[in-house]
Amino acid sequence: MTDIEKPSNFIQQIISADLDANRVETVVTRFPPEPNGYLHIGHAKSICLNFGLAEQFNGACNLRFDDTNPEKEDDEYVQAIIEDVKWLGFDWADEPKFASDYFGQLYSWAQYLIGEGKAYICELNAEDMREYRGTLTEVGKNSPYRERPAEESLALLEQMKQGAVDEGTMTLRAKIDMASPNINMRDPVMYRIKKMAHHRTGDTWNIYPSYDFAHGQEDAIEGVTHSVCTLEFAANRPLYEWFTSNLPLPSVPRQYEFGRLNINYTVTSKRKLKQLVDEKHVDGWDDPRMPTISGLRRRGVTAAAVREFCDSLAVAKTDGVVDLAQFEHFIRTDLNDNASRAMCVLNPLKITLSNYEAGKEEILTAAGHPNRDDLPSRQLPFGREIYIDQSDFSEDTTLSRKKFKRLVIGEYVRLRGAYVIRADEVIRDDAGEIVEIIGSYVPDTVGENPPEGIRPRGVIHWVSASNCIDCDLYLYENLFTEAAPDAGEGSFLDHLNPQSLQIIKNCKAELGLGEAVAGQQYQFEREGYYCLDGKHSSADKLVFNRTIALR
């Protein structure tokens, strides 16, 4: 065995034992998504596991697309998946692989099984096939076509391939055991007729292999040694092994199952995620409320946070539900350590500093991060007029300093990275609403303590009124109000959170944010973590997505 870290989960232990016993020379794993949707956080765990195992054991991991169903698959999904896997920081030795690369070989193996008397063409329709299949408590019964001569089945299979047979009238089925307690073994379908173009092979094929028939054989062709998949495929493993033991394959892979990742307050069914997109409950697959990897990326979650979270999870033989707060812990930790700081005023309130020279402007310097000397400092224009947040001012002089550490009429507060100021007078509009505060600043207090007798209540953020940028903020919350939205009666859509997106327009942000690029993360001081949204931003108005609130 090579110089590797000590195995900690059951799959690592299996691989370690296989290497020690020389059952395996080089470890080969694979990540095999079907390109029928975008990847989600559950896939991220599988990606990290499969690529991580290959890395740990000095092996290789293939990215392979199981594109056996042209009805639901699209090249858009292929490209999105490639982008997601690369964004997470993983790569593969060769070009991505596809089940469709092996359609010719799979067809030859189907002919082989027919010739061996282990597959046949069945003419039962879908309804009759369900009836013949039996139930969990009743065994199935043989198809009347089960003993069809091999020569006849081979001829019919070729006619199916050539498009001479109507859809739904024939299938190719494996001949296994209609009395098996495992329903998957009751003569499963290997090929169906689908007269539709494939996103890679075009109109070449009129029949397509089932996932169960193709999957193990793809692994064998690629020399996969450890085929790691989630627990719902455990019942399919006997069928996987039946095919691999009854075909003349170049190698014999083994399948191992682990518990899938489920997180509360979300859904990870691709069918349900697609429904959210198709019915426009969300702004596409990359909507920042979606648990898709592209949605997380657009929201501002980093690849490092996703990987750290996935690596923290147990690789077990049972399914479980992880609390969303556990994921949020890794998001906040990563952003706290790495996100540049900036200031943005969500609900601007203007302050005019009456004793600051009109027309004068100075440039103050603030740290890019309090603990990161490697991040560039920020230049903060400061002048007579500034904005603070409306929530940071009160006329109530009875508020204790402990309860309200902000600006109160007649008292002092420190501006973050700038001067100490005092609120002196309130200006109101005709409706009686406060529209401006007249205040004053205390000279020589940038980075210095104020004179004796001046005691600021606290520290608040601000921006220059004349040198700032306008932006809109998209504040995201959980997409669902229930921890398990797809459990129980009714539709998961019944639990959509109507407050999952709040848009705050015309915020005022420090000037340097005008240079932000899509996906760049910031901590808006005292407000939360944000990133520039490349989808909604324009030259006239920048949009920042809230990744997550401060603790």
Q: What is the DSSP string of 1-16?
A: --S-PPP-SHHHHHHH
Q: Catalytic residue, from 173, 254, 270, 289: name it.
A: 270
Q: Domain 98-209: which topology? A: Glutamyl-tRNA Synthetase; domain 3 (3.90.800)
Q: Is the pLDDT of residue 19 over 50?
A: yes
pLDDT digits (tens, 9 = 90+) for 515-549: 999 989 999 999 999 999 999 999 889 999 999 99
DSSP 471-508: EEEEEE--SBSSSSTTSSSS-GGGGB-TTSEEEEEEEE
* Sheet strands (E) in 140-224: 171-174, 189-193, 207-209
Q: Rounded to two decimals, what is the model's pTM?
A: 0.94
Give me the catalytic one of 34, 83, 167, 241: 34
Residue 255 has pLDDT above 80, yes or no: yes
Would residue 6 show up in a list of annotated catalytic residues for this protein?
no
Beta strand pairing call for 385-389 and 348-353: antiparallel
Contact 28, 61 (CB under 8 A): yes
Residue 255's identity, in one-letter code, is Q
Residue 270 falls in the annotated catalytic set: yes
Q: Model confidence over 359-377: pLDDT tens digits?
A: 999 999 999 999 999 999 9
Tens-place pLDDT, residues 419-431? 999 999 999 999 9
Domain ranges of the chain: 1-95+212-260, 98-209, 341-466
Q: How far is CA 157 from the centre of its chain?
A: 41
Q: How far apart are alpha carbons 284 and 273 in whole angstroms?
A: 10
In this structure, CATH architecture of domain 341-466: Beta Barrel (2.40)
Contact 295/288 with Cβ under 8 angstroms?
yes
List for the chain the helix, strand, coil content (%; round to 5).
30, 25, 45
What is the rounded distance in angstroms from the CA atom of residue 361 to the CA atom of residue 370?
25
Task: Kindly state the DSSP code that residue 204 receives in the 8-state scheme.
Answer: S
Give backbone dihedrals phi and psi of 271, rounded to 5 degrees, phi first: -65, -40
Would you say domain 1-95+212-260 falls under CATH 1.20.120.640?
no
- Non-local (6+) Cβ contacts of 38 within 8 A are 77, 80, 81, 84, 273, 285, 286, 292, 293, 294, 295
**Alpha-carbon span 447 to 396, nearest angstrom:** 28
The DSSP 8-state label assigned to residue 79 in this structure reads H
Per-residue confidence (pLDDT) for residue 1, from 0 to 100: 40
pLDDT at residue 6 greater than cutoff 90: no
Considering the candidates 260, 272, 317, 416, report the single residue annotated as catalytic: 260
Do the two domains 98-209 and 341-466 of this chain adopt the same fold? no
